[in-house]
Amino acid sequence: MRTSIAAALAVVWLLVLAAQNRLTSIRTKHFAPPSMAFVPQSEKIKPYLLGFHTAYADYLWIRTTLYFGSEFLSHGQYKWLVHMVDLVTRLNPTFYPAYEFAGLMIPDICQDPDAARVILQRGISSATDRRWKLWYYLGMIYYEYYKDKKNAAACLTYAVTQSGAPGYRLAGIAAAMFKNAGAPEEGRDFLEFVYTTSENPEVKRYVAGKLQAYLEKK
Amino acid sequence: MRPIIEIASNMFKETIRNNVLYLVLFFVVALIVLSVFIADWSVFARIQVMQDFGLATMSLAGLMLSIFIGVGMLGKEMSQKTLYHVVTKPVSREQFVCGKFAGLFATLLLTYLVMSVVFLCTLAYLGGAITPPLVYAIFLIWAEMSVVISASIFFSTFTSPMLASFFSLAFYVAGHLNDLLSIKMVEAKGSVYPHVLKAIYYILPNLEHFNVRDNIIYGVGLPVSYYCLAIVYGILYTVLFLSLSCILFAGKDL
């Protein structure tokens, strides 16, 4: 009796596993991005969060990373990415990872350096503890996307003056920019520098790929 | 079969008088109606937010009802000693557990019917279309509720109501996070860790299979076979948990 019950349960269990695998494969073929229904239109929702706006910003940040991941694996359109990152920084102006993400990813994948610039400037004025990095990213955006070497170098000189900045490296890069450099070594230095200083594993992975492509093009 | 029907009928009458049921129903109905105003704050259109919010609320209602009612079901019978009146009769313990589950499920099915009608009427009032996928999504929520309740009953057969509530909540959360395990399995390194993750992935049910809200909001259609298979999946898991509950309860020293 016990053996037959155990056998029956084992059969049910195997059917469950088969159903689970089949359901997973069907869902993978009919993939839908995560819902944006819980993303507010603007930071005007802040008073209604009753003081929990930083907690909501944290939740929104998790949704942002999940949204980025799902779009990266599927359509690659990132329609709401800028809005979500912007909203996270408005709800919690001291949330550094969102600024780093804006500085590194948004100009490239969303083709929107203006949005990245605005978000970074907000971060610079909000007294985060790694402000030198935000100046550095802003400088790179001026250099790479606006082709404005003068402003780029100015941003890097501001970065050098912030606490915690690796002054000698930034000064060298700023000097090279000021010399109207077009040398490829600058690009390599920038990528290597971001890779070694970033604490975000996803950013490191992304930059490692960029560096490899950059070296192969050379 | 008759004892099961009798116990189920008694359980139905008992549960329908439970105040917690009406409290949860009231809150769910209120939330569904309030979502009309919350929807104005979102980046999405009102109808999409309502669909998402309404389905999410009904899913959470199943969790609340299984914790507040399902978990204490067996424990209450044992503590009040009313169980002894039943087991001394020619009713097996397996029939008792199945009857209790059937009665509770029937009550909650009625509750969900009310919630679904309110949800669909509110959606229709706002101009939203009641599409077949939306109705199928409600059926999947019922299937999910069945799995969660059977899991709650399973936990209540071998532990106290408080711990069973905690386990039920953890079960619900883990079931919905199960998808992330499949991603982690691919990335995991080492000889033991990936297999541990794989074991956990297959032991826990993947409750995300009952969650088709994103597909409905974005209009990404799923084949009808998916909905049928998901309901079968829910039934199989319910049978599994009920069987384990019967085995544990049959061997329990009352």
Instruction: Compute the count of residue pairs across chains A and B with CB atoms less than 8 Å apart.
Output: 92
Which chain B residues in 13-42 lie under 8 Å from chain A, judged by CB atoms? 39, 41-42
What are the sequence ranges of the domains in chain B? 2-158+210-250
Ranges A84-93, B27-36, B77-86: which has the least confidence? B77-86
Contact A32 B215 (CB under 8 A): yes
> What are the chain B neighbours of A35 within 8 Å (beta carbons)?
44, 48, 52, 213-214, 217
Please compute, for residue B62, the number of CA atoms within 13 A of its CA located in the half-sphere on the CB side: 31
Please name the member of A16, A37, A40 whose beta carbon is closest to the beta carbon of B217: A37
| B155 pLDDT higher than 60 | yes
From CA A218, how far away is CA A187, in angstroms rounded?
11
Amino acid in the structure at residue B212? V
| B167 pLDDT higher than 70 | yes
Contact A5 B243 (CB under 8 A): yes
Cβ neighbours around A202 below 10 Å, total:
16
Contact A35 B52 (CB under 8 A): yes
Cβ neighbours around B221 below 10 Å, total:
14
In the structure encoding, which two tokens stand for residue B253, read together? 């020293």
Asked if B228 reaches chain A (Cβ–Cβ under 8 Å), the answer is no
From CA A113, how far away is CA A101, in angstroms rounded?
12
From CA A115, how far away is CA A119, in angstroms rounded?
6
Encode pLDDT of B112-144 as tens digits. Answer: 888 899 889 888 888 888 888 899 999 999 999
In the structure encoding, which two tokens stand for residue B36, read together? 């009309």
Please name the member of B39, B41, B223 whose beta carbon is closest to the beta carbon of A45: B41
In the structure encoding, which two tokens stand for residue B129, read together? 């279309």
3-state DSSP of A57-90: HHHHHHHHHHHHHHHHHCCCCCCCHHHHHHHHHH
DSSP B11-52: HHHHHHT-HHHHHHHHHHHHHHHHHHHHGGGBSS-HHHHHHH
Please name the member of B202, B229, B244 whose beta carbon is closest to the beta carbon of A17: B202
DSSP B208: G
**Average pLDDT across chain B, whole number:** 84
Q: Where do runs of H (alpha helix) occur along B39-160?
A: 46-65, 72-79, 83-87, 93-125, 132-156
Q: How far off is chain B from A83, nearest CA to CA, in Å? A: 10
Q: In this structure, are residues B151 and B240 in contact, taking their beta carbons and an 8 Å threshold?
A: no
Encode pLDDT of B209-221 as tens digits. Answer: 998 888 887 788 8
Asked if B231 reaches chain A (Cβ–Cβ under 8 Å), the answer is no
Q: Is the dihedral of CA A186, A192, A198, A201 positive or negative?
A: positive
- What pLDDT is attached to residue A169? 62
In the structure encoding, which two tokens stand for residue A125, read together? 């004025």
Encode pLDDT of B24-68 as tens digits. Answer: 888 888 888 787 777 777 777 778 888 888 888 888 888 888 888
Greater pLDDT, B88 or B212:
B212
- What pLDDT is attached to residue A168? 54
Q: Please state the φ and ψ torsions of residue A129, each to the nearest 5 degrees.
A: -80, -10
Contact B182 A24 (CB under 8 A): yes
pTM: 0.73
| A111 pLDDT higher than 60 | yes
Which chain A residues in 97-136 lie under 8 Å from chain B, judged by CB atoms? none
DSSP A35: P
The three-class DSSP label of residue B220 is: coil
pLDDT band, very low/low/confident/very high, at A183 (cuts 50, 70, 90): low
> What are the chain A neighbours of B217 within 8 Å (beta carbons)?
32, 35, 37
| A44 pLDDT higher than 80 | no
Q: Which residue of A has its CA nearest to B50?
A: A37
What are the sequence ranges of the domains in chain A? 32-128
- What pLDDT is attached to residue A114? 94
What is the signed CA dihedral for B189, B190, B194, B199, rounded to 10 degrees?
A: -170
User: CA separation (Å) from B203 to A108, A193, B170, B187?
Assistant: 41, 44, 14, 20
Q: Shortest CA distance to B67 belongs to which of B23, B3, B8, B34?
A: B23
Asked if A7 reaches chain B (Cβ–Cβ under 8 Å), the answer is no
In sequence order, the 6+-apart residues with CB closer than 8 A to the CB of A166 are A197
Tokens 């709650």 identify what position? B152
Q: How far off is chain A from B183, nearest CA to CA, in Å? A: 11
Per-residue pLDDT averaged across A205-215, rounded?
75
Q: Shortest CA distance to A82 belongs to which of A110, A46, A49?
A: A110
pLDDT band, very low/low/confident/very high, at A137 (cuts 50, 70, 90): very high
Cβ neighbours around B94 below 10 Å, total:
17
In the structure encoding, which two tokens stand for residue B88, read together? 């001394």
Q: Vertex B67, ends B64 and B71: CA angle to 5°?
A: 155
Interface pTM, i.e. ipTM: 0.81
